[in-house]
Amino acid sequence: MVANAKKSAKTFDDSKFTLIKSENSFQKKDNIAGFRTSLEHYHALFENTNNPLLLIDNSSNYIDCNKAAVKILEGESKNDIIGMPPASLSPEYQPDGQLSAVKAEKMIKSAYKNGQHQFEWVHKRLDGVHLYIKVKLTVIPMEEEKILLVNWLNITENKKSEETINKLFQAIEQTNEIIFMTDIDGTINFVNTAFEKVYGYKKEEVVGKLTPRILKSGLNTKRFYKDLWTKLPAGKGLHEEIINKTKDGRLINIHTSLSPIFSDEKKLTGYMCVQVDITEKKIAEKKLVDAELLYRTIFEQSPDGISLMDCEKRLPLDFNTQVHKQLGYSADEFSQLQISDYEVIDTPEEIKSRGKKIMKEGHDDFITRHKTKNGEIRDIYAIVQRIMLHDKPVFYAIYRDITEKVRLADALRNQEIELRRQVMKATLIGHEEEKNKLGRELHDNINQLLATVKIYLGIIKTKKDHIDKKLVEKTYGYVNDTIDEVRKLSHSLVSSLEEKSLEDSLKQFIKDLDLTFGCKLKLVYKIRKSLILDKEMELMLYRIVQEQINNIRKYAHAKTVIIYLREKDQLLDLTIIDDGVGFDPSKKSKGIGLRNIQSRAEIYSGSINILSSTGKGCELQVKIPLK
């Protein structure tokens, strides 16, 4: 101890804070020179020891320190430290939450009370860096007061190591990975929480008692164990996927990493094993593989063509064999084709528009046509959906070749139409024969009888005796009218087409109507003479004209009727226009007359169309294809 006393009692120099004992304090001593020598030895020891040493007086301030203390605090001289209380070289709070100033006083009091006191303390260097210090306070009695010798042991690195180890331990305990360690004999000496959760063993059941053989399932290969005991003693790690068994007998898939543990002297001390339970992963992988196999099987064995297409480039990303086979291309050829390369109906712009619709609505289905490599046109029923693949939208397209189905349907429909046409044709021919027969009967028999009656009535009319002339004249008029009506009826029932052309027959029909119709009729006939129509078709056209004129006569109250019969775009175009009262076709159902017209037209694969509105007359359009 060094003291600097300017009086007979011990004092401290404020400028140097160095202990120097006054010569007067040792006058009673016999060997002053010897004491000074001891004092110098102590001072040299105090100053030059590697341990940081400091002195605290009864005011709880540092009154002296050695070079090691200055160095550990990153000071320049003692002056940076002397005169400061311990709390000034400490953070505001200690790790236990106590104020450094308050706790420092408690530690100092305890040292004064017990003679010495040891504890751990967090100091703060002059540059603000924290130091973990093991502090030992020792009371040194003086003549007039007691001072404390402060001995510091820097345990900062140890503390940091402890914190690191603690963090590692917490990480090992909280990780989902299984971690356990064994000694060189294989006895388990550590397991983490994940080990307990996965395998079902408690720590106290296995630590120091069992070996990893309890986890063996008997399903791992001999090669695994051979590699295990070859690599580990040689200081090499081992990484494998194995099957282990839990405490309750369940088999689990494990990815294991085994490593040897060596001491600082490079001596093998044990083994560490890090494992991951990959059972769920394996199950998921198997499901994924099975699903992929199922999808690929359905994909490849589908009778329909299936293609995954890039939404923007319209190029196939993946496709099955059927999709390129039904178009006659190889897989390599088809992979380079855009939709527009084989699409027949839709233009590139229409394809683009349809793509936008599918992107918006999510799906579409439609009938189209595709062109094969050799130019054949195939009917296709397409179903397209927008799906997500790797977070990117793609088109999943199914192309069903319905060419044969369409052809069969067309053939069946044509057969049905032809059969219906033949039935209708036979029916109409029968009707015509009946009409002709009835017309001839009316003309040849009934008309002759009525004519005879008329002659007889004329003879009676000349005989004046005993006859009611008015009654005879009235009867004569009725018979005459009957003859006219029968003649008209027989003319309408029996067409003149067997003797005349269609044009002449229509002109005669119009001429006969002019006398009684009260409507102006006009015929526009523009069919080249070289075009020869069969008599059945001519009769069909004639009857349609008759039927429509009859409808106009009954309902239209028309003043003018124009009949057009002409050739146009490989069609026979029969159009009948009137300026009558008209009607709304959407509100009025077709009557017998119009149904008869439609039936006659359908015999020759024709069609009818009616243009009319209330107050604006009517236009009947009949179109018959010319074969």
pLDDT reading at 29 higher than 80: no
Cα-only R_g, the chain: 61
Q: Which of 106-115, 218-227, 416-425 has the lowest mean pLDDT?
A: 416-425
Q: Which residue has the tokens 């296709």?
A: 380
Confidence tier at 373 by pLDDT (50, 70, 90): very high
pLDDT at 1: 33
pLDDT at 18: 37
Helix (H, G, I), strand (E, B) or coil at 100: helix
Give 416: exposed, middle or buried? Use CB within 10 Å, 0-12, 13-18, 19+: exposed
pLDDT reading at 578 higher than 70: yes
Give 205: exposed, middle or buried? Use CB within 10 Å, 0-12, 13-18, 19+: middle
Helix 403-441, helix 469-493: angle, nearest 10: 150
Quickly list H helices, 571-612: 592-603
pLDDT at 480: 72
Residue-wise pLDDT for 182-221, tens only, equals: 998 889 999 999 999 999 999 999 998 888 888 988 888 8
Provide the strand spans (E) within 579-626.
607-612, 618-625
pLDDT at 17: 35
Task: Return phi, psi of residue 252, to 5°.
Answer: -130, 145
Confidence tier at 413 by pLDDT (50, 70, 90): confident
Confidence tier at 25 by pLDDT (50, 70, 90): very low
Q: Which of 53-62, 182-191, 235-244, 440-449 has the lowest mean pLDDT?
A: 440-449
Provide the strand spans (E) within 447-559.
520-526
Q: In what order do the strands lie in the sheet with 607-612?
A: 520-526, 560-568, 571-578, 618-625, 607-612
Fold of 49-153: Beta-Lactamase (3.30.450)
Domain ranges of the chain: 49-153, 175-283, 302-399, 402-494, 501-625
pLDDT reading at 11 higher than 80: no
Q: Write the CB contacts of 73 (distance below 8 Å, at least 6 apart in sequence).
A: 80, 81, 89, 123, 125, 126
Quickly list H helices, 64-136: 67-72, 100-114
pLDDT at 2: 33
pLDDT average, residue stretch 373-388: 92
pLDDT reading at 137 higher than 90: yes
Contact (CB, 8 A) for 580 and 619: no
Distances from the Cα of 512 to the Cα of 62, 171, 515, 518, 547, angstroms: 147, 114, 6, 12, 15
Cα 290 vs. chain centroid, distance in angstroms? 21
pLDDT at 523: 94
CATH of 175-283, one of 3.40.50.1400, 3.40.190.290, 3.30.450.20, 3.40.50.2000: 3.30.450.20
Contact (CB, 8 A) for 581 and 556: yes
Residue-wise pLDDT for 262-307, tens only, equals: 988 888 899 999 999 999 988 898 898 888 888 888 888 888 999 9
Fold of 302-399: Beta-Lactamase (3.30.450)
Contact (CB, 8 A) for 289 and 305: no
Identify which of 188, 242, 185 has the alpha carbon closest to the alpha carbon of residue 211: 188
Quote the Cα angle for 478-480-482, to 5°: 70
pLDDT at 191: 94
Q: Write the CB contacts of 287 (distance below 8 Å, at least 6 apart in sequence).
A: none
Residue-wise pLDDT for 332-371, tens only, equals: 999 999 888 998 888 888 888 888 999 999 999 999 999 9
Give 446: exposed, middle or buried? Use CB within 10 Å, 0-12, 13-18, 19+: middle
pLDDT at 45: 85
Higher pLDDT among residues 115 and 22, named by residue: 115
What are residue 134's DSSP bridge partners? Answer: 120, 153
pLDDT at 3: 35
Fold of 501-625: Heat Shock Protein 90 (3.30.565)
For the chain, first and last CA: distance in Å? 137
What are residue 153's DSSP bridge partners? Answer: 134
**In whole angstroms, what is the distance from residue 218 CA to residue 413 CA?**
71
pLDDT reading at 174 higher than 70: yes
Summary mean pLDDT of the chain: 83
Q: Write the CB contacts of 364 (distance below 8 Å, at least 6 apart in sequence).
A: 354, 357, 358, 383, 384
What is the token pair recorded at 270?
């044990």
pLDDT average, residue stretch 389-401: 90
Q: Write the CB contacts of 19 (distance below 8 Å, at least 6 apart in sequence).
A: 1, 2, 3, 4, 10, 12, 55, 63, 64
Contact (CB, 8 A) for 245 and 216: yes
- Residues 74-77: contacts with CB within 8 Å, 24+ apart? 74/125, 74/126, 74/127, 74/129, 75/126
pLDDT average, residue stretch 494-501: 66
pLDDT reading at 10 higher than 70: no
Contact (CB, 8 A) for 276 and 177: yes
Q: Write the CB contacts of 142 (distance below 8 Å, at least 6 apart in sequence).
A: 3, 10
DSSP H or E stretch at residue 120: strand 116-124
Give 300: exposed, middle or buried? Use CB within 10 Å, 0-12, 13-18, 19+: exposed
Supply the DSSP string of 130-168, one letter for each residue: EEEEEEEEEEEE-SS-EEEEEEEEE-HHHHHHHHHHHHH
pLDDT average, residue stretch 433-454: 61
pLDDT at 466: 64
Neighbours of 174 (CB within 10 A): 10
Residue-wise pLDDT for 515-572, tens only, equals: 667 789 999 999 988 888 888 888 889 889 988 988 898 888 899 999 999 998 889 9
DSSP 8-state class, residue 604: T
Same CATH fold assignment for domains 49-153 and 175-283? yes
pLDDT reading at 89 higher than 90: yes
**In whole angstroms, what is the distance from residue 9 CA to residue 3 CA?**
10
pLDDT reading at 418 higher than 60: yes
**In whole angstroms, what is the distance from residue 281 CA to residue 255 CA?**
11
Cα 29 vs. chain centroid, distance in angstroms? 101
Confidence tier at 617 by pLDDT (50, 70, 90): very high
Confidence tier at 590 by pLDDT (50, 70, 90): low
pLDDT above 70 as % of the chain: 82
Helix 592-603, helix 535-551: angle, nearest 10: 160
Residue-wise pLDDT for 140-153, tens only, equals: 987 778 899 999 99
pLDDT reading at 19 higher than 50: no
